[in-house]
Amino acid sequence: MLVRDAMSTVVLTIGPTHTLRQASQLMSARRVGAAVVLDPDTYGLGILTERDILDAVGAGLSPDLETAQRHTTTDVVFAAPQWTLEDAAAAMVHGGFRHLIVLEGNAPVGIVSVRDIVRCWTPVPLKTASMA
């Protein structure tokens, strides 16, 4: 199976000046765990994840004052739609992260997460025991 088969095509793109609160509200509304941060004036594409926001707030920083730019990962590993899920999983394990921005050409076309890969590798939903 390929990354294109597993990736989410809901790509939330935010700017570097979005506050962490704004970013988290947008991520929550779209039910995604990461946002692509687009800053063409400096580093281009970066990624802001739930973990980045959690770490900042956990460190006592204000989600209303802190901007995405200060917490964005700019040294990003990108995936291609034609990568295998094994390639994507290996990149995530090697890099210690849970999301990959999927690029086609220079444009983000999706994001693939560990959860997306697990869903593909576990195609049969688990049945829960009913309460009798």
Angle at which helices 114-121 and 85-95 pack, to 10 degrees?
140
Short-list 52, 50, 116, 34, CA closest to 83: 116
| Beta-ladder partners of 59 | none
pTM of the full structure: 0.85
pLDDT for res 44: 81
pLDDT tens digit at each of 132 positions of the chain: 999 999 999 899 999 999 999 999 999 999 999 999 998 787 689 999 999 999 999 999 999 999 999 999 989 999 999 999 999 999 999 999 999 999 998 889 999 999 999 999 886 666 665 554
CA distance 35 to 48: 5
